[in-house]
Structure 1
């Protein structure tokens, strides 16, 4: 199992204390935006808090770190390797042998420990890398990710296909916003992977790498983490590379892969994910469990078993939590929790998480439908939308972070509302638009809509360690524009 070095001690303990590891292998520092962060004290705090840990081994990342400077409680990697005179033994194991444990985001409680199976994960990743992404032995792959996101495990699987990996650690915008594009030009990967949020950010920056960089080798540009808006698709083809397969992915840590993904044999339609993943019977269900027609939104489900279904949840011997998580809504059908629709072209549009779906006046609205319109407004850097309970009804509240030194005035509010009204529908127009200086996300870059919703309603938010910059939640607490007075 792994997590990211930038997690706080409590976030690491919340995860690893559940699985009770015996050996903890760590780095001594990490770098972000040119700043070195020493985590030695955090390592010791984690080791002291988890009784099962018998040995801590550090692989120094900082070349200036000397073994003598480390705590006596920590064994340097080189010493551990040098002192071992035992040749590694490789044991042949069954298909369903556990391979690793991943964790749910934990933004609504303690993270779930998801145990994956070796054979199923290998088959899933091979189908996605070799077929959906059309990679071959000897190709190169870059995906911007931390070790705390499932995309790290997905990336590492490239080694099993004979694909070389290009790794990057640090801020994607340091020392300049072109940093990842520079890496793309320097290393010439065949697959260049980022998040939808990254594409939106460089679009807002007005970057045009198609005129400044050479991406000759890139044949697949992958996007995941959240739905990519049509404007993001158009930006890629107009400003990054014209002859590229833009593959939008959607899946989850639960399967360590994709439910719907790219397809090199099909056309790419703006704003759509191309197809189901191979071997998966993906459907959209109405609330009554019947299959929705094309163009109708509903719950994303998988109606057949598949190899990368989790083996189990850790410490869930009777699979009660497992069944509750995936099979409670629709019996014997995997319910993933995304709000989605099939298009006439056979692609899919995902409108956000079902549990974050807005329901003003009893009409279900996906949050991504609103984000797609707000992203068009140049003054807005990012936004988050929630449903706020007003008596027996719900009103839509949109929070926006604007460009530096800008203030949300009535004129800008009206332009945002008009864009949403024209681009989506009058039902999508928020009742309230409020300005905040910062919008928190998970450490893998996903909006924490539920945590923000809980904060607005004055309810506690559990497991703040899963949130990057959790102090930003205070911006939503008793916000004067959304505070309800009776």
Structure 2
């Protein structure tokens, strides 16, 4: 099949039933517009940002006072302010439903299952919010969570948002220094932490680490301990109380603080692999509007849907997932390894919980294919209508695998955005065809373009992914960045008044987008720019390879491509396999893409959210120091890259 032929497209009946199509037709009717297709709709959304976001607010019935002004200083990036007079509460919008429909389902490796209805969730949040108010928490105080992906984590976030506190989370696989580098900067008053979690068949005891964290944060007034398992130890901190004690009051109702649109809702963190992580502050109103748009329009999420995303609380996709409560859908939370006890675990969950929207990472799809596990052969996935993939570019072969071995009638949405915007620049679209290797469309309200190095817009060529007009989920700012200089330098230092995201990308004739990797990891042999994803896509075709990482090594006044590979268990890299790898890359790309050196390693460094860290490897290879290795899930893996003999010749 040609890449120009769609892998999937909605039937006429399915197209007309999508919220995206109904939104377009509703705008035409109510506003007297003549938007013929998605391209027209997107064009209108970025040229009329104020009216577009007003329509999102009104049509999806945001609870709050919108105010009179839609957008102030709309020509400034940064500096634009959406709905500057508005008042709303994020938690109130996520708790609008208070009936017996299941809101949250928790599952783990040990087959434990806990479900909570919307009514029960409301009352759990009311109890914790009353407790937080009793501690004297006021708007802008911080509540932190050192938690697995459990129901208690969602309750904590909603209770904090209800009283106007700012919420921040780390997953319990973060090391002590990694947690302190994050929470230590924002100085929370309350910390909610689990005594342990399960992963890969083991119970990991966190009680000692939690004690150390609590003692190290001098701003802390209370530690609320969620007892995960009977076989974890006790937490020895003077300010510690049990979760059940925090919820022991008889609060029957919940009052919500009415707060400004840009009120700090979340603090998220950059990966921290080049220094202390940046504390990125996101506003309540922008997060809510973006997620409503992405859930309702780009994912076609509705009240009857069941939404699952494999994520931890240290990845922004957790924040994205929990916003599904605003739609009234059922959310499935999973804590554990996606391959324990085997590759079937998430697909058993999808079948049993009747998941309709399944979210994961591109790395998981590649690993599933390497494991030769084919969900369609083993599971009934009748309810599944959409599969979302993010974290890194999904290879063309990943698209083929999904349609061949998971489900044919499926809207496959490869999406891309980031922690920086707590949302996406490019997404799926249930009203458009899916093309191999492409993200379906640019997000509504996101004026995404690709620039060359001089700042000129280009089409059909590789360049820098930018956004040229403001959008409401731009960060409120960075923590402790009073003059805004670090924030401006991070996104607006490359092109004046334009958000530069740091992705290397190209637009397609079908209106989609291809991501070729991070621009700071782009290889430059002989002055030709190559995205690492272009190499990974070819290497993944070689059956013996588990995963790979490419860097550019400075060599003889130029740059040469070095490829590190992890092979399947028991295999060794020999000249025959090297030749196979080079032949596969050359046949499908260019001679410039072929690595000068291929080296076998046992592991590759990754962030705690599972992303490869090319920059850290490049630094080690060049004898430079890697700062803040606590940001890595496996920092010990970097030792393999020190003084490799093959790289000196």
Tell me if structure 1 keeps the 8 A contact 2:442–2:511.
no
After superposition, residues 44-63 of structure 1 pair within 5 angstroms as 44-63=211-230
Matched, 1:402 2:567: yes
Q: What root-mean-square deviation, in Å, do the aligned CA atoms of Structure 1 and Structure 2 show?
A: 1.4
After superposition, residues 101-180 of structure 1 pair within 5 angstroms as 101-180=267-346
Matched, 1:442 2:442: no
Question: 1:131, 1:59 → 2: CA distance?
Answer: 36
Equivalent position SS for 1:124: helix
Cα deviation, 1:168-207, whole Å, max 9, x if unaligned, reads: 1000000011111111111111100110000000101111
Instruction: Name which of structure 1's ranges 38-47 and 304-313 shifts more when overlaid on structure 2.
Output: 38-47
Question: 1:224, 1:407 → 2: CA distance?
Answer: 31
Question: 2:590, 2:584 → 1: CA distance?
Answer: 9
Equivalent position SS for 1:288: coil
Matched, 1:271 2:437: yes
Question: 1:17, 1:287 → 2: CA distance?
Answer: 38
Matched, 1:356 2:521: yes
Cα deviation, 1:410-453, whole Å, max 9, x if unaligned, reads: 11101100000011111100100000011121111110000111
CA shift for structure 1 position 80: 2.4
CA shift for structure 1 position 160: 1.2
CA shift for structure 1 position 161: 1.1
Question: 2:509, 2:237 → 1: CA distance?
Answer: 64
Counterpart position of 2:102 = none
**For the structure 1 residues 86 and 176, does the alpha-carbon distance in structure 2 shift closer, same or farther, using more than 3 Å as the test?**
closer
After superposition, residues 22-101 of structure 1 pair within 5 angstroms as 22-63=189-230, 69-71=234-236, 73=238, 74-82=240-248, 88-101=254-267
Counterpart position of 2:107 = none
Matched, 1:370 2:550: no
Counterpart position of 1:335 = 500
Equivalent position SS for 2:458: coil
Equivalent position SS for 2:617: helix
Which one of the candidate residues 162, 176, 179 is aligned to 1:9? 176
**For the structure 1 residues 321 and 72, does the alpha-carbon distance in structure 2 shift closer, same or farther, using more than 3 Å as the test?**
closer
Cα deviation, 1:216-246, whole Å, max 9, x if unaligned, reads: 1010100000000000000000001111100
Matched, 1:312 2:514: no
Question: 2:579, 2:556 → 1: CA distance?
Answer: 26
Counterpart position of 1:414 = 579
Instruction: Name which of structure 1's ranges 219-228 and 384-393 shifts more when overlaid on structure 2.
Output: 384-393
CA shift for structure 1 position 65: 6.1
Equivalent position SS for 2:630: helix
CA shift for structure 1 position 89: 3.6
CA shift for structure 1 position 132: 0.2
Equivalent position SS for 2:352: helix
Question: 1:88, 1:186 → 2: CA distance?
Answer: 33
Equivalent position SS for 2:172: coil
Question: 2:646, 2:405 → 1: CA distance?
Answer: 37
**For the structure 1 residues 166 and 135, does the alpha-carbon distance in structure 2 shift closer, same or farther, using more than 3 Å as the test?**
same
Instruction: Name which of structure 1's ranges 467-476 and 375-384 shifts more when overlaid on structure 2.
Output: 467-476
What TM-score does the superposition give when structure 2 sets the normalisation length? Answer: 0.73
Equivalent position SS for 1:165: strand
Equivalent position SS for 2:645: coil
Cα deviation, 1:37-85, whole Å, max 9, x if unaligned, reads: 111111111122221111111111215669xx44352211111222687
Counterpart position of 2:628 = 463
Instruction: Name which of structure 1's ranges 384-393 and 227-236 shifts more when overlaid on structure 2.
Output: 384-393
Which one of the candidate residues 14, 19, 30 is aligned to 2:186? 19
CA shift for structure 1 position 96: 1.2
What TM-score does the superposition give when structure 1 sets the normalisation length? Answer: 0.97
**For the structure 1 residues 84 and 481, does the alpha-carbon distance in structure 2 shift closer, same or farther, using more than 3 Å as the test?**
farther
**For the structure 1 residues 302 and 103, does the alpha-carbon distance in structure 2 shift closer, same or farther, using more than 3 Å as the test?**
same
Question: 1:79, 1:65 → 2: CA distance?
Answer: 19
Question: 1:425, 1:394 → 2: CA distance?
Answer: 16
Counterpart position of 1:241 = 407
Matched, 1:291 2:457: yes
Question: 2:635, 2:344 → 1: CA distance?
Answer: 27
Question: 2:621, 2:566 → 1: CA distance?
Answer: 17
Tell me if structure 1 keeps the 8 A contact 2:211–2:235.
no
Which one of the candidate residues 355, 359, 362 is aligned to 1:196? 362
Equivalent position SS for 2:182: helix
Question: 1:93, 1:34 → 2: CA distance?
Answer: 44
Question: 2:231, 2:373 → 1: CA distance?
Answer: 36
Question: 2:268, 2:305 → 1: CA distance?
Answer: 27
Question: 2:264, 2:472 → 1: CA distance?
Answer: 13
CA shift for structure 1 position 88: 4.9
